[in-house]
Amino acid sequence: MKQLHRPEMFCWSAFDETRNVDFHSVLWVHEDGNVLVDPLPLSDHDRRHLDTLGGAKTIVITNSDHTRDSERIAEAFGARLFGPRTETKALPEQCEPLGDGDEPVRGLRVLELHGSKTPGELALLVEATTLITGDLIRAHSGGTLHLLPDAKLDDKTKAAESVHRLAQMTDIEAVLVGDGWPVFRSGHALLGELDRRLSQP
Amino acid sequence: MKQLHRPEMFCWSAFDETRNVDFHSVLWVHEDGNVLVDPLPLSDHDRRHLDTLGGAKTIVITNSDHTRDSERIAEAFGARLFGPRTETKALPEQCEPLGDGDEPVRGLRVLELHGSKTPGELALLVEATTLITGDLIRAHSGGTLHLLPDAKLDDKTKAAESVHRLAQMTDIEAVLVGDGWPVFRSGHALLGELDRRLSQP
């Protein structure tokens, strides 16, 4: 796994040939038990790395299109699975529901987004400074945040309102997107740029 | 291939299990013929992508440890190979020498670095704003530039002087490292941070 911007945060990735971007999964090494977000299948190497870092106790799925290898990894590590409360029917049966304001792990705040391709996509805010997004906010070109393409959005106005809300969170430094290039600095400024682009007529 | 911060710049990557970082190669789509830097082996998908973007006319090897798949790719595309003038003995025979101030392609300026693990490592500056580095400057954690570990450096004082020179180039926005996380914005500021860390006693 690759270290991210904090010594206790890591990711592993897979290149997607259809979109020409990397997909990412996040590991947060946490003293109450490690957290995984949207885990892709692990290579043998990354599985061993995760073992040495303490395995996983909590897995959060941001949306029902990002279940990926969650069930298998949850079983292997005896981890609890969580996912959006409004998408439970499309999630693994044992998935526990999360909604806006929940804090399944100390320091991990759940934010509900709206208008995306699934009804209840979540974003996660780590200690107010690192935002983890699933599908709605992405970065297919480096150093710029993008919204999911219009054709995939359920409601662009609601999606833009969700971005606007995130853009008010002035402490955000990093934006770890599920698809594309992560942002490690000036996350608040880049969310502001996206917010302004979306509010232009 | 993944798009970088400019619509005509791309990269492809390979995860290195020994260092837990991605290695990267850069493509610059150029109207005088495309440029590749330190090309890793191409997957069939990326080879087709490169074909659709016009193939390659120029390949630059930043240091003799980054020859990678350059010879095979040069042969496949009929590209010219370039590398550091002081490392010609360790480079493919047909490699043409480059030194400080050379401009093998319009808009691509060569900078010689010193003190690295090979004697004449090059950095490349694209249109004054994008710096491409090979081994000396890297980013194993996101959003921070690092120097090659001391044990690998030939001369840390000279390496620090090379970083100091780059840190004076105020137009640099992006720093595309060969190893680790690319920087797409505020490259000048991050080079300045590295420069200050290295100048501390």
pTM value? 0.97
Shortest Cα–Cα distance, B20 to chain A (Å): 5
B-chain CB neighbours of A17 within 8 Å are 45
The answer for residues whose C-beta is within 8 angstroms of residue B186's C-beta and 6 or more apart is A185, A186, B173
**Chain position carrying tokens 């906010």:** A137
Shortest Cα–Cα distance, B107 to chain A (Å): 21
pLDDT given for residue A200 in this prediction: 85
pLDDT in tens, A153-197: 999 999 999 999 999 999 999 999 999 999 999 999 999 999 999
**CB interface of B with A, residues 85-124, below 8 Å:** none
Task: Return the beta strands (E) in chain B as ranges.
Answer: 2-3, 9-16, 21-28, 35-37, 58-60, 80-84, 96-98, 108-112, 122-126, 130-132, 137-138, 146-147, 174-176
A-chain CB neighbours of B15 within 8 Å are 2, 13
- Average pLDDT, stretch A101-130? 97
What is the spatial distance between Cα B161 and Cα B96, in angstroms, rounded to a whole number?
A: 26
* Contact yes or no for B185 and A185 at CB 8 A: yes
- Average pLDDT, stretch B167-179? 98
Alpha carbon separation from B134 to B118, B186, B196 (Å, rounded): 11, 19, 21
Tell me if ipTM is over 0.90. yes
- Average pLDDT, stretch A7-19? 98
* Contact yes or no for A2 and B181 at CB 8 A: yes
Closest residue to B45, CB basis, from A13, A17, A185 = A17
**CB interface of A with B, residues 38-57, below 8 Å:** 45, 49
Q: Which CATH superfamily is domain B2-199 in?
A: Ribonuclease Z/Hydroxyacylglutathione hydrolase-like (3.60.15.10)
Cβ–Cβ under 8 Å, residues B118 and B87: yes
pLDDT given for residue B67 in this prediction: 96
Angle between helices A156-167 and A187-199 (to 10 degrees): 150
Residue type, B192: G
A-chain CB neighbours of B186 within 8 Å are 185-186
A-chain CB neighbours of B184 within 8 Å are 142-144, 181
